[in-house]
Chain A
Amino acid sequence: MLCQNCHQNEATVHLTQIVDGKAEKYHLCEACAAQKGIDVHADPMDLSGMMEKLKNQLDHLKEDLVVERAPAGPATCPSCGMTRTEILKKGRLGCDRCYEAFAAEMLPVVVSLQHADQHLGKVPRRASVRLRTSVEQARLRRELDQAVAAENYELAARLRDQIKALPAEGEAP
């Protein structure tokens, strides 16, 4: 297969990008992929195999995350008194409430560090049903995206049903 971009070299970089829930595939040569800022080759000798195996995760990292900027919050955390300047200087927060108080500053920081904006892991046992449902829903949505990207529509349909079956979500916290 030839590169979709230059139509000259063999396409060796295959990418799936999800746009509006639809999977779009790209087949590029290394040079064109590099030009587009897609860096899939660390070291072809040792890591191409590893990279391939982690392609799903890699796609997840490539996924463009749009962070909605909350309106600038207060200059200090109402709970611990930490100031915005202090947080940005230290790179550490003062307390759990700081994440909310400084959401406008912290969310972009979290996204740039973590390449993600949604927790998909363990939820404390004593967490409310609403909290649990909200994480579960995010997890199913992510799986749905991946199923669609892999063109596994059977799985996608099952996941959609599972999402519908979740208890109705309350207001976002």
Chain B
Amino acid sequence: MIPRAPDEDAAYREAYGIVLSSRVRLARNLRGLPFPDRAPPDVRADVRRRVQAAARAALPIQEELADAPPLRRQMLFEDHLISRHLLDDRPEAALCLNEARTQAVMINEEDHLRIQVLRPGLALREAWADANALDDALEAQLDYAFSSSLGYLTSCPTNVGTGMRASAMMHLPGLVLQNEMEPIANGLGKIGLTVRGRWGEGTAALGHMFQVSNQLTLGLAEERILADLEEIVKEIAEHERNARERLKRERKIFVEDLAARARGLLAAARLMTAQEALERLSEVRLGIALGLVKGIAMRQVDRLLLEVQPAHLQTAAGRLMGGEERDAARAGQLRAELGRRPPAATEKRTT
């Protein structure tokens, strides 16, 4: 047997405990053609064909989204590979992916191309380096719409310039529980950044998951936008660490109770909605980070955060399920993984 490291989850917690992932997306359009919402079907089809051809070498996995069943689109959305916009049936929309599923181009979204790179942890610069290289490779075969004053021209003026939206996904239960999230959210707006919930709106974000991203795309070089964002993300992470420490020091019984109740529900419930699962998993995740929950790895919680979502659940089951059936299946999986093991048959009885 391979000897186990004393705590193999420790490195994971250190790397991804607060910043789960980084994302860079670039909006690009082909010169002289109407944007997707305005383009007739034959133009969109032509754009799709040209982008698919240009992307084939770097992104060999290519699928049509227009013909895809809604469950497939939902699955890609839960995996962060397509935008909310493409959840709806968009004509001539397509997705190109690399083998690792870390680099993608959405075709005929709001813009002709949406280049996207995902990286685990805080790795904004690395994500940009990948996106930039992919952009260069595509541009070698595509003629982009670009102006010397407004940069890359996009369907919505909120993306014009670099066309870049960079974001970090952060787990911030400490700041939420200490009521410190709102001033941060308000302050970020004033320096050209925004924070929004990963699965919901505002500071009442589900599961304390937030996406911090740049708001401005014009008037700053990409490197500058990324450096500012990274600095702020690090700063927020530091505040989160402090908030967690204060929680443990000053409100230990409260946070211990929160995590223990969450664990109890996950281990025992017979029906569980996605919303409740995300919330309870987040509380357990906080408990793990603070060393108050033992025997569950953060890595496992993060996998579950994905797997309890509706499309993942139904894809794993291999069929579409109704609401209550889904809630039962979700509770079943959580119970199987986090519930108390039944006493082993060989267990010795004490006399």
Contacts and interface: CB of A to CB of B under 8 A. Distances in A.
Interface stretch (B16-24, B186-194, B296-304): B186-194
A43 interface: yes
A113 B139 contact: no
Question: Most chain-B Cβ atoms within 10 A of its Cβ — which of A45, A94, A114, A139?
Answer: A114
B153 A117 contact: no
6 contacts: A50-B231, A93-B155, A94-B34, A99-B150, A120-B220, A121-B164
Interface in B185-203: 186-192
Contacts of B67: none
B187 A50 contact: yes
B219 A46 contact: no
A115 B157 contact: no
B336 to A, nearest CB: 41
B210 interface: no
A82 B152 CA distance: 20
Interface stretch (A19-27, A29-37, A125-133, A154-162): A125-133
A115 to B, nearest CB: 7
Interface residues of A, number: 53
Given A43-B183, A95-B38, A96-B153, A115 B139 contact: no
Contact of A113 (B148, B158, B221): B158
A51 B180 CA distance: 16
A79 interface: yes
B192 A61 contact: yes
A49 B217 CA distance: 23
B68 interface: no
Contacts of A114: 157-158, 160-161, 216-219
Contact of A57 (B29, B156, B157, B192): B192
A92 to B, nearest CB: 5
By size class, the interface of chain B is 35 or more
Contacts of A82: 38
Contacts of A6: none
Contacts of A49: 235
A53 interface: yes
Given A92-B35, A95-B34, A42 B187 contact: yes
A46 B192 contact: no
A97 to B, nearest CB: 7
A99 B147 contact: yes
A96 B228 contact: no
B232 interface: yes
B174 to A, nearest CB: 12
Contacts of A173: 147-149
Contacts of B103: none
Given A50-B191, A51-B187, A114-B161, A94 B150 contact: no
Contacts of B235: 49-50, 53
Contacts of A127: 146
Contacts of B180: 45-46
Nearest to A50: B235
Contacts of A144: none
Interface string B138-174: 0110011111111111011110111010000000000
A116 B161 contact: yes
Contacts of A118: 149, 218-219
A121 B161 contact: yes
Interface in B115-159: 132, 135-136, 139-140, 143-153, 155-158
A34 B55 CA distance: 51
A78 B35 CA distance: 14
A58 B191 contact: yes
A123 interface: yes
A71 interface: no
B69 to A, nearest CB: 28
B153 A124 contact: no
A18 interface: no
A51 B292 CA distance: 35
A119 B153 CA distance: 11
Nearest to A169: B148
Nearest to B139: A124
A50 B232 contact: yes
Given A95-B34, A110-B218, A122-B151, 4 more contacts: A42-B183, A50-B235, A96-B147, A115-B219
B144 to A, nearest CB: 5
Given A47-B183, A50-B187, A95-B34, A115 B192 contact: yes
Contact of B132 (A43, A96, A113, A122): A122
Contacts of A93: 35, 153, 155-157
Contacts of B219: 60, 114-120
